[in-house]
């Protein structure tokens, strides 16, 4: 079992990260400062060190030299809330394996850890247990939820249609709609499902490090390259490479990416040996890439290479019929993570959630539900657990929507009574599907 040492002075964040990594099968220790970390390092070998850059008694970069001298096989990954290119380059030069900026997602930290464990002095492949860590991640809500709305059904149809092929897929849509979730769903029902799914945030990669990140490098190829490093293409070999925010890549990096996709081979920085890779590309963007092509900011040939099949991920405001399905899913996740037992929302909270426009989409909903669970003492989420912004915006349409929902509720009850509570007949009378009727019965908590 790989051992990880976390060096982080933010106690709450450290405990959360420690618990999360322990659930993924890692043996995790933690230190709140450099002194404690040095004591830990004296008697124990750690495969990975996750260190905050800014610490009370110094910084994580100052620890690098000591670690590389005493334990050269240990991979050091630096964490910071100050995402500066200069700091990243300095860290790499000092011998850091990688660099990740806060706030990071569980997916991204697991990917970095898995990549670090993939590289060792004997060049043996990592164990299947660690290899699977890239794909068996605690993410929301993949293909676990198939919504009832027409937009959700159409999305699922597209996923099932393209997944068995090797076509490159371009995912578009607003930020927070779940593009990585969709990419993972495509991978999970594809012929590549038993291989790695590697997610890369192109917007977080400094231009100076992009070539090394994508294709890897060999020891001594540049200042700070103190060991061989595998790139994302090799890590995803046989599987799926998800390129998020693809429009943020520099023009030079676009050229390199296009060549790798076309030729199906890469060279590590500093190497003359070509490595053949079999990778399925799924890219995502919340920008208009066609406009970027017209403005000369994105290569047209790369756009067409990525856009063999396109899927637009619907915004949450366009799939309100599925809102409570997602709420239930996020409630379960938050309860498990926070060790709580919150089972439902009050009627007024439901009303606020339905009235809100959700500019942050599913990501915003997830955060709202998690916060609500944290602030709830009993088993029901009350209004005071909901962020103020939701309540303020909800009031704009409150009277109109509340009146409309009350009318709909009475209409449903009337139809049920007229049909002697036969739901199939009531649905026909209301000119809605039986599923929709059941959802509305659940939403209004009608006792029928």
Domain-ending residue, one of 268, 291, 314: 314
pLDDT of residue 170: 96
In this structure, are 256 and 345 located in the same domain?
A: no
What does pTM read for this prediction? Answer: 0.60
Whether residue 203 is contained in a domain is answered as no
In this structure, are 398 and 256 located in the same domain?
A: no
* Contact by Cβ (8 Å): 75, 118: no
Question: Which 8-state DSSP code applies to residue 216?
Answer: -
C-beta atoms surrounding 392 within 10 Å: 11
The tokens describing 140, both together, are 């929301």
pLDDT of residue 284: 95
pLDDT 10s digit of each residue in the chain, 448 long? Answer: 889 999 887 777 788 888 888 888 889 998 888 888 888 888 788 889 988 877 767 666 777 777 877 788 888 888 865 444 455 556 666 677 877 766 666 767 887 888 788 754 443 333 333 333 333 333 444 445 667 788 888 999 999 999 999 999 999 999 889 999 999 999 999 999 999 999 998 888 888 888 888 998 887 777 666 677 888 999 999 999 999 999 999 999 999 999 999 999 998 888 888 899 999 999 999 989 999 999 999 999 999 999 999 999 999 998 888 898 899 889 988 888 888 899 889 888 988 898 888 989 999 999 999 999 999 999 999 988 988 888 776 654 543 444 455 667 777 888 888 888 888 888 888 778 887 888 788 777 777 6
| Residues sharing a CB contact under 8 Å with residue 276, sequence separation 6 or more, in sequence order | 264, 265
Three-class DSSP category at 272: coil
Taking the CA atoms of 245, 324, 436 and 142 in sequence, report the sign of the dihedral they define. positive
Q: Which residues of 6-25 are buried (b: 16+ CB within 10 A; e: fewer)?
A: bbbeeeeebeebbebbeebe
In this structure, are 96 and 49 located in the same domain?
A: yes
pLDDT of residue 166: 93
| Three-class SS of 95-134 | CCCEEEECCCCHHHHHHHHHHHHHCCCCCCCCCHHHHHHH
Domain that holds residue 177: 142-197+240-314
In this structure, are 322 and 310 located in the same domain?
A: no
* Contact by Cβ (8 Å): 48, 130: no
* Contact by Cβ (8 Å): 326, 364: no
Alpha-carbon distance 17 to 20, whole Å?
5
In this structure, are 168 and 303 located in the same domain?
A: yes
* Contact by Cβ (8 Å): 97, 113: no
CATH code of the domain containing 258: 3.40.50.300
Whether residue 208 is contained in a domain is answered as no
Domain-ending residue, one of 84, 105, 126: 105
Question: Which 8-state DSSP code applies to residue 217?
Answer: B
Burial class (CB in 10 A: 0-12, 13-18, 19+), 143: middle
Q: How many domains does the chain have?
A: 3
- The CA angle 33-39-41, to the nearest 5 degrees, is 100
In this structure, are 191 and 294 located in the same domain?
A: yes
pLDDT of residue 406: 60
- C-alpha 424: how far from its chain's center? 40
CATH code of the domain containing 381: 1.10.8.60
Tokens 């017209």 — which residue?
Answer: 294
């Amino acid at each position: 079992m790989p051992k990880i040492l976390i060096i982080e002075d933010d106690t709450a964040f450290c405990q959360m990260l420690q618990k999360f990594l322990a659930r993924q099968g890692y043996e995790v220790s933690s230190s709140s400062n450099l002194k404690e970390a040095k004591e830990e390092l004296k008697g124990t070998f750690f495969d990975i060190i996750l260190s905050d850059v800014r610490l009370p008694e110094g910084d994580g970069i100052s620890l690098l030299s000591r670690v590389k001298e005493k334990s050269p096989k240990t991979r050091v990954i630096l964490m910071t809330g100050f995402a500066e290119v200069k700091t990243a380059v300095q860290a790499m030069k000092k011998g850091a394996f990688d660099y990740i900026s806060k706030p990071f997602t569980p997916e991204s930290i697991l990917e970095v850890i898995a990549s670090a464990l993939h590289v060792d002095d004997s060049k043996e492949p990592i164990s299947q247990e660690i290899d699977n860590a890239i794909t068996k991640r605690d993410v929301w809500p993949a293909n676990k939820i198939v919504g009832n709305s027409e937009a959700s059904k159409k999305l699922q149809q597209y996923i099932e249609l393209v997944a068995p092929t090797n076509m490159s897929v371009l995912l578009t849509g607003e930020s927070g709609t779940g593009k990585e979730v969709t990419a993972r769903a495509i991978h999970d029902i594809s012929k590549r499902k038993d291989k790695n799914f590697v997610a890369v945030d192109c917007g977080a990669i400094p231009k100076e490090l992009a070539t090394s990140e994508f294709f890897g490098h060999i020891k001594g190829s540049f200042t700070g390259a103190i060991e061989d490093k595998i790139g994302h293409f090799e890590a995803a070999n046989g599987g799926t490479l998800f390129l998020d925010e693809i429009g943020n890549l520099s023009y030079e990096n676009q050229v390199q990416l296009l060549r790798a996709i076309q030729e199906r081979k890469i060279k590590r920085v500093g190497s003359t040996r070509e490595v053949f890779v079999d990778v399925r590309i799924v890219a995502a963007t919340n920008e208009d890439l066609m406009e970027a092509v017209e403005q000369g900011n994105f290569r047209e040939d790369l756009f067409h290479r990525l856009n063999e099949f396109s899927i637009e991920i619907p915004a949450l405001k366009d799939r309100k019929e599925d809102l409570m399905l997602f709420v239930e899913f996020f409630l379960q996740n938050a309860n498990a993570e926070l060790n709580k037992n919150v089972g439902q929302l009050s009627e007024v909270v439901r009303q606020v959630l339905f009235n809100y426009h959700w500019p942050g989409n599913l990501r915003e909903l997830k955060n709202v539900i998690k916060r609500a669970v944290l602030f709830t003492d009993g088993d029901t989420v009350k209004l005071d657990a909901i962020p103020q912004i939701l309540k303020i915006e909800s009031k704009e349409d409150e009277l109109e929507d509340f009146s409309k929902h009350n009318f709909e509720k009475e209409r449903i009850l009337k139809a049920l009574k007229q049909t002697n509570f036969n739901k199939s007949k009531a649905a026909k009378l209301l000119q809605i599907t039986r599923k929709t009727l059941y959802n509305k019965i659940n939403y209004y908590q009608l006792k029928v």
